[in-house]
Structure formats: C-alpha cells, structure tokens
Amino acid sequence: MKASYSPRKVLVTGGAGFIGANFIHYLLRSDPHVRIVNLDLLTYAGSLSHLDGLADPERHHFVQGDIGDRALVSQLLSEHDIDTVVHFAAETHVDRSITGSAAFIQTNLVGTWNLLECCRLFWLQERHYQPDQCRFHHVSTDEVYGSLTADDPPCHEETLYRPNSPYSAAKAGSDHLVRAYHHTYGLPVTQTNCSNNYGPRQHGEKLIPTVIRTCLAGDPIPVYGNGRNVRDWLYVSDHCSGIDTVVRTAPVGEQYNIGASNEWANLDLIHRICALIDRLHPSGAPHDQLIRFVPDRPGHDWRYSLDSNKLEQQLGWRPQVSFDDGLEQTIRWYMGL
C-alpha cells in the first residue's frame, strides 16, 4: 500500500556531485513548491558548475560544508526548518578506496551517523515530529550485495550483504545505521540501492566518461582485465525519479532497489560507446582501435545486478529512458552538443 508524503524543505547532501546535482535539477523542475538546501564539501568530485541552469535557482541555497560537522548540520536543520533529508554525500570511487580508505570510513560511515543523530535530535526530540512530518532518505549502492556469477539471479532487498571493497563496506555500514535509527529510535527513514548510474555531470574518473574523454582525445582506452565484468546501467534521471517516488510514496522503514535490467560487460559497453562516437565524431574512427587492456584492480567484483520488482510492483516506478537514448544523450553532453 502506498504512503503519501510531501517534502517541502529538503536538505540534499552531496548536491554538487553527479547524482545529487541531477536530483536537484529534477526536483526543482518537478515540484514547484519544494525548497532545497544543498550541503556539499566540494571535494574533487563536486562542482558548482553542475548546478548551472537550475529551473528556479531562488528555491536552491548552497552551503559548502561537511556532513560530519555536527554544529553546521544542526544549524541548517533548524535555520531552514528542514523536514526532509536526501543523503547522497559519499566517497564512491572503488579504486580510491583501495589506496586510501580513511576518507571512505569518515564520510560514508561517520558522516551518515552524524546526519542521523542530528535529525533524531531535531525532529524527534526538539520538534516532536510524527512519522508523516519528516523523512530521511538514504541513497546506497548495489555493491553492498557483493559479486555475482553469470548464473546468479539479480539481488533483491533481502539478499545478504557481502561487500568486497572498503567503499562498499563503508556503504554497507551506513545502510545498517539507517536501519538501526529507524528500528531503535523510530526515525522515519527510507533507503534505495541503485545500480551503476550514467548521464550528464558524472566525474571523469568513472567508466563511461573515461571512455568518451579518451576517444575524443585519441588516447588509449583502459580496460581492466579481460573486460568481461558486468554492470547494470541506469540513466541518472531515472534514478532521480525512483528516489522521488520512494520519498513520496514508500512506507517508512522500507528499502528498494533501483535498477534498469540493463546489464553489459564492460568491453561490450566500450565498443558500443566507440560506435556512437564514430558516428557523432568521425575524426579518429574507428575509436575501438584505442582499446588497451590493463592489469585488473584488486578484488574486482565480477557482476552486479539488481531486481527492482518490489519498487515496480509496490510503487509503480519503471525506468523511462532507453539505453540507446541515454547513452547518446550522455555522449552529446560531454561533447557539448
């Protein structure tokens, strides 16, 4: 049974990053009443340029700061009378977590705990809000479920967590904290776990932007191992609509997977991108001649796949952007077309 919740004053953490910024664009376009406070530390992955062209910039207020700053978070909740938190802020790059895990523990785990504690004190103790008056939404990843074989079924919401990298372990810990704050304190929470996102504004270190950038520059395209690792690819605007659907209509305490049932081996995806760039940017074609295989990274998970049936059946959400359309839109954005 669908619930009904209407966010009005929303704190978005990590709103200058890839998915967070796209969510702010989406929310300002789709809801003319909502006001947004955007808290982002502006590390290497965040950029204010991601917020250019907002539908109604007067309803967006940016604050540079750390989600681990207790005084700042408490001040923002009170000063702006925040009723909804949508929590994107996280360190997300697996390779970086392998070479330096401390930031991942501090941001993903301790930072999430700080947000939960501030919301608990403000909403439940100071304001005495009821469950239908506030919402904490936590954005997580398919990587917490661990690696699948080629024959394993997609992961559902009851699949056992088996994180394999410092990044996914820190995200798994934050997921458990969110659940615990609901069951222990009654904090009204929801959670989503998404598959690999792609689309405009993604940082250049991720796979699809890396392939586009190297193709356009005529540089080698690095491919880990034999390129057969499999990921499910979700267009970022579909992810944003899924999050919004859960925030507004999911019962508190529920967790939903957001995937696209769009699995691709990395090497096949790279060939597809190269073929599209051959058409849009013929200079240098065929671009797949740039592919170079490099040593695999440590602990590289073989396959991720999500079962989104719960979200589709209970809340009526489905992805709207086809992979061909989403991939071409993404390439055109990076090409400035």
- Tell me which residues are annotated as active site: 142-143, 167
| Torsional sign, CA 325, 326, 331, 332 | positive
Strands (E), the chain: 9-13, 35-40, 60-64, 84-87, 135-141, 189-194, 196-198, 221-224, 230-235, 255-258, 263-265, 291-294
Find, among 183, 67, 76, 82, the residue nearest to 134 by Cα.
Answer: 82
Alpha helices for 120-202 (secondary structure H): 166-185
Cα maximum dimension of the chain: 62
Contact, 292 vs 223, CB < 8 A? Answer: yes
Terminal-to-terminal C-alpha distance of the chain: 43
What is d(CA 207, CA 221) in angstroms, rounded to the nearest whole number?
Answer: 10
Residue of 71, 85, 89, 5 lying closest to 37 (CA atoms): 85
Main-chain phi, psi angles of 232, to 5 degrees: -95, 125
Closest CA to 43 of 90, 87, 11: 90
Please, are residues 254 and 178 in contact by the beta-carbon 8 Å criterion? no
